[in-house]
Chain A
Amino acid sequence: MHKLRLSNLAAYLILILMSVFVLFPFVWTFLTSIKTEVQMFAIPPVVVPDPATLQHYQAIIDEGKFQSFMGNSLTVALVSTVLSLAVGIPASYGFAKYRYRFSGMLFAGVIATRMFPPIVLGVPFFLMMRQLGLINTELALIITYLPLQLTLIIWILEGFFRQLPHEIEEAAEIDGLGTLGKFLKIAVPLSLPAVGVASIFSFLAAWNEFMFALTLTRTQETQTMPVGIAGYVTTFQTFWGKMSATGILYIIPVILFTIIAQKGMIKGLTAGATKE
């Protein structure tokens, strides 16, 4: 009994240490965001500022940059996710249930692109967008994010559709449903939770993407949040207060979402691990 309690103690110690490691950066960023410049650079550091200030939040909103970056991020992430889902869901269903010659190979090819370092696409994308005159447009980012999201969606949903019992489909066939009918009336409604998971992950992929956004956009009118927030670090000065405030507002929705949709998120992340 005594030994058991000791090992429980060790277990909680590990969990608490890990939690501190994970949470500390968030907490410190939040505390920084409500400090004045003087409190921020005090030695030894001020932990909880007294009085706290909202000046950095006020500043980023007054500047209008925040709204602009946020708006661009939302537009790009939403539009690209919707487009990816529109072509990705039927494709996953097709790959899972309607095998044809080469379909296995094509599926493997789609999934394999997940392994490419994105920088491989960075150069040709830049040249392609320049040719099309799309540099510094949101459309360029939307197009760029499609393949990133499609591979994710197909990876998650193909496995799900494959597990749909054959009997349901046969019953639908007897009821006289064609491929389209089966897809729209049976497969999609049954897979809504999985579609939700896939949408979250493709949304996040676009929401958090930095490198392509850095190479393809130049001005506040088109830049998304990751590039915008990185802009607070300049060669001469880093605006820690504004950066922290922007960072906090940028990640709050994601954190809330993570907590609410916890189960689905974990299911999506571990989709591959339990598949085999």
Chain B
Amino acid sequence: MSVSAKKRNGKHDRSRRTAGILLTLPALLVMAATVLYPILSSFKLSIYESQGMMSTGAFVGLDNYWKVLQSSQFQSSLRNTFGFVSVTIIVELIIGFAVALVLNRSLPGTKFFRIIFTLPLMIAPVVSGLQWRWLFADQYGVVNALLELVGIDGPLWLGTVWGARTAVLIANVWLATPFVILILLAAMSSLSEDLYEAARLDGANAFQTFRTITLPLLKPAILMILVVRLSDAFRVFDIVYILTQSGPGGSTEVLSTYIYKNTFTGLQFGQGSAASFLVMLLIMIVSFVLFRLLRPREDRA
């Protein structure tokens, strides 16, 4: 910061600023045209009355929002989504921790297992949905055939409320747990060996070490997992659409499928947009609360 810093006069700063603007401008223009503009027009749609795809031009303020909030379909899809999001994230974290802790021990063969566990992440959710639909099929499904082998009479997975919910959960856990594993593993492998050495010398057992050392140090990674997985789980669409079609009787309807149906089948574009914004608001609130709760103590203001 000595000679070169002093040389950086106003002119230099200005040219750096221009360079920064020029480099980022094309991407920002694309984002403005493909995100900002659609979102603003969607917002406009949400505060006007619409008939089918057409806006009637009548300003209705928050009317569409109230209608959505009062609709029992929205409320039940909201409940389903919350239930789905919380259970799936808890299950993903439990399995993710178990597998990551084991992988982190670098036993022989770890590399091979890690490749296997990466696969679902690269697969289209649609394919996962279709695969599980076939596995869970009532009469010909292999899951029930396997259950029968061990003497369990499997449920009609896709035909009963809790069967269908469990199926969606399993398909999603299959798809998303690898992400949790990889993030936890990356974070664990950057933890210092010394701490564990010290804990061993102090006579801490494996569980104590995990609770007092591993868990607190992994807080940033866990926060990141929660934020990413939360926004992903809130938007779940493909699996539900393919696996259960929101059925039976709307018991697996989630917010995305509700909005999709309302808009593209029910042609309620105003309410569809209003519902989208409610979901967006919800994700923002939940992420904000998470950030507050889980931020490492030292940077808390």
Name A's B-contacting residues (CB within 8 A): 8, 11-12, 14-15, 18-19, 21-26, 28-29, 32, 40-41, 43-45, 86-88, 90-91, 93-95, 97-101, 103, 106, 109-110, 113-128, 130, 143-144, 146-147, 150, 154, 170, 179, 183, 204, 207-208, 210-211, 214-215, 225-226, 229-230, 232-233, 238, 240, 243-244, 247, 250-251, 254-255, 257-259, 262, 265-266, 269-270, 272-274, 276
Contact = CB atoms under 8 A, between A and B. Distances in A.
Contact of B134 (A32, A43, A229): A32
A128 B36 CA distance: 12
A147 B27 CA distance: 9
A273 B235 CA distance: 22
26 contacts: A18-B113, A22-B120, A43-B139, A44-B148, A45-B140, A87-B27, A91-B23, A99-B20, A100-B17, A100-B21, A103-B24, A106-B28, A115-B231, A116-B280, A117-B280, A120-B42, A124-B45, A146-B30, A146-B34, A183-B23, A215-B260, A226-B238, A230-B126, A265-B121, A270-B186, A274-B186
B107 A208 contact: no
A270 B134 CA distance: 32
Contact of A120 (B39, B139, B140): B39
B24 A94 contact: yes
Interface residues of B, number: 95
Interface in B206-230: 220-221, 224, 227-228
Contacts of B105: 11
Contact of A91 (B28, B34, B99): B28
Given A91-B26, A233-B130, A269-B179, A215 B142 contact: no
Contact of A28 (B53, B142, B279): B142
A273 B20 CA distance: 27
Nearest to A128: B38
Nearest to A272: B224
A11 B16 contact: no
Nearest to A262: B115
Contact of B20 (A11, A98, A154, A204): A98
Interface stretch (B68-76, B159-167, B269-277): B269-277
B135 interface: yes
B267 to A, nearest CB: 11
Contacts of B142: 28, 45
Contacts of B156: none
A128 B30 CA distance: 15
Contacts of A125: 38
A96 B261 CA distance: 41
A117 B127 contact: no
A19 to B, nearest CB: 5
Interface string B102-127: 11010101000111111111111111
Interface of B: 4, 15-17, 19-24, 26-28, 30-31, 34-35, 37-39, 41-42, 45, 53, 95, 98-99, 102-103, 105, 107, 109, 113-128, 130-135, 139-140, 142, 145, 148, 174, 178-179, 182-183, 186-187, 190, 220-221, 224, 227-228, 231, 234-235, 237-238, 241-242, 255-256, 259-260, 263-264, 269, 272-273, 276-277, 279-280, 283-284, 287
A14 B280 contact: no
A90 B23 contact: yes
Given A124-B42, A247-B130, A18 B95 contact: yes
Contacts of A262: 114-115, 118
A98 B23 contact: yes
Contact of A25 (B22, B174, B241): B174
3 residue pairs, one from A and one from B, having the closest CB atoms: A94-B23, A98-B20, A124-B38
Given A40-B140, A211-B237, A273 B98 contact: no
A243 B130 contact: yes
Contacts of B133: 233, 238
Contacts of A265: 118, 121-122
A197 B214 CA distance: 29
Contact of A147 (B35, B45, B186, B277): B35
Nearest to A13: B102
